[in-house]
Structures are given as structure tokens and as C-alpha cells.
Amino acid sequence: MPTRPRALLACSLLLVLAASGCGRIADWVIGRNLRRVDRSVLKSPDLTVVLCGTGSPIPDRTRAGACTAVVAGGELFLVDVGPGAWETVDLANLPTEALSAILLTHFHSDHIGDLGEAVTQSWIAGRSRPLDVYGPVGVVQVVTGFRMAYAADVGYRVTHHGEQYMPHVAGIPVAHEVALGNDPAASAVVFERNGLTVTMFRVDHRPVEPAVGYRFDYHGRSVVVSGDTKRSESLIQHAKGADVLVHEALQPAMMTRVAAVARKLGRDRLAKMALDTIGYHTSPADAAAVARDAGVHRLVLTHMVPPPNNVLARRLFTQGMGGIFSGEVTLGEDGMRIALPPRS
């Protein structure tokens, strides 16, 4: 998948070719981009996961905000849509006109920042039905706010392109609020169609409440997305036997070091914020223990803080994980794709 700088370079090259009169070459480049959408994934018997945002609030050129795409049974879901995530979804060649629903884990800004773009751009791509947005209690308020913020934009587009191409009803997200109650291990099936079952369950991201994760089951395969959480017994219970666990991770030692350096630079506010984050996230070692205790086959780390973007950072980030989990461990990257064939 092209990175953002490479995509910008390609656009610049296209403009140069067009301006220089190389029309055929420019048409070829444009045509290649227009044919990039991979609709075959909707017909695949696989349960497919695409990491569309493995970053965090720490700025990173190569990672968008939290977002995981799951495709199965002809359905396309996005779990969270953090800032910049929609661009990565688009670059992953996903058939965005087929977006079935967005599943929010909680309402921190780094998980909902691109909700408006996900609604608008999937509508522009050809989605003709209202977009369902599932989440815990509070999702109605969030979706209502985005509807209000984008109301003028929706009106402009319908007027400009016409109801036939931009049906007004499809430009409006519809919230589905799921109340799980006070039981820390509570869960509920939020979607069931075409052999796919999606289950929401509580996790522990206190003081952020409610916070949830999601499990996808399809043709004998299963994927669990943790959302933001510290080590959660509910997550372990609902991830039992999963093929893939996509789990957030924060490296406490590295964040403690970030805080120490920030203080030396006189940035006490940043230092406090960095230390505050440690208490309600999961360390890589604890994520490995969760994967072990749940008996999952593969652990994929995402929403990594700070982002491990070089050999040294990756080594520091995974410190303490050795010997805990015997399955496969992957440090996620934007655009990474995992396909799970059906199990008879």
C-alpha cells in the first residue's frame, strides 16, 4: 500500500504529465487509480482484517488514528475511525461503497475523529443506504453531533449532484446504542447476517466508561478487536480461542522516558499527560499474557504508544514479551492485511 508521501508524489507526477501534454500516460495513471478498488474481497469466503489505523495521538506520518476494517459475508465494517483513518481505508483499495456499519469502542477523539469523513466518503463512493453506527451508551450524542456538523455539506452535495446520485438518506448516519449494564463481563450480539456474528463486550478503560471491544465470528474463524483497555478479564473471556486478537498496546517504560525528557525540556504539561496514559492502557507484556490466557492463535498489536517505527524502537517496545505467549506476535502497520480461510 502506498504511503502518504508516495501518494502525494504520484499525484504531483500526474499533474506534470498532464501539463506537459502526455495525455495517454496521464490517462493510464488515472485509469489505474480508478480501477484499484478490490470488490472481490466481498465475495471471498475468508474473514479478512485490514489494519487502517495503528497509530495514536502521537503524530506519525506512517500511521493513522485507530481503525480496523473487517470484511466477511459481503459485509464491510470499520472498528473506530480515528483521525486520518479514512485516507488509509481508501488507500487499502477497500470497496467503501459497501460499508455496512461503523463500530465505535468509545468516544475519545482519536477513535472518532474521521467519523464524518467515513459517512461522507462512503456515500460519495456509492453507498445508497443510511450508515449504521453502533456503540455503547453515548453513541447517539456522538452521531447526532456529527450529523449536525455535516448537515450543510449533505445539503450542498444533494443539490449539486442530484438525489439520483447522492440520495439524501444515505448521507445521514444512524446511531444504534447498546446498553450493556453494569456487569463487567456483559456482552451483546449487535449484528448477525450472512453467517457473520458480531458481538460487543465490555472492557476496562476507566475512567472512560463505557468502553467496549468487538468479536467477529464467521465460518469457524474469529477475530477480536480490543478497543482501548487495560488488562481485561472480560476481554480474555470473549477472546477465547480466537484466531486473531487485535490488541492495543502502550509501552510504559518508553512513555516514562518520554515524560522524563519532556520535564528536562520544561514541558511539564506534556510530561503529566504522558504519565497519565499509562494507567488505562495495556502493556505489550500484558497483551501477550491476555493472548496466552485467552488461547488465541495470533496477537496483532495496534494503536501502539509510542509508535515503534525502527529496529531499536521495536526492540524496546516488545521488551518483556518474551516467553509469555507462544503464538505469533505481529506489530501492526497501516495497510497490513490478514485473511482467514473458512474452517470446516
Beta-bridge mates of residue 68: 51, 79
User: Measured between alpha carbons, how far is 267 from 38 in angstroms, rounded to an integer?
Assistant: 46
Active-site pick, 80, 90, 110, 217:
110
Decide: 235 and 295 in contact? Cβ < 8 Å. no
User: Measured between alpha carbons, how far is 291 from 54 in angstroms, rounded to an integer?
Assistant: 18
User: Measured between alpha carbons, how far is 210 from 124 in angstroms, rounded to an integer?
Assistant: 32
User: Measured between alpha carbons, how far is 129 from 142 in angstroms, rounded to an integer?
Assistant: 20
Residue with cell 495497510: 335
Beta-bridge mates of residue 103: 79, 134
3-state secondary structure of 334: coil
> How many contiguous H segments (helices) and E segments (strands) does the chain have?
12, 14
Each as own residue / partner, the long-range contacts of residues 55-61 (CB below 8 Å, 24 or more positions apart, any chain) are: 55/82, 55/84, 55/303, 55/304, 55/307, 55/334, 56/110, 56/303, 56/304, 56/305, 56/306, 56/307, 57/110, 58/305, 58/306, 58/307, 60/307, 60/309, 61/3, 61/4, 61/5
Q: Interhelix angle for 139-161 vs 115-125, to 10°?
A: 40
Does the annotation mark 110 as catalytic?
Answer: yes
Please provide the DSSP assignment of 247-281 as one string.
EEEE-HHHHHHHHHHHHHTT-HHHHHHHHHHHTTS
Beta-bridge mates of residue 216: 198, 223
Catalytic residue ranges: 110
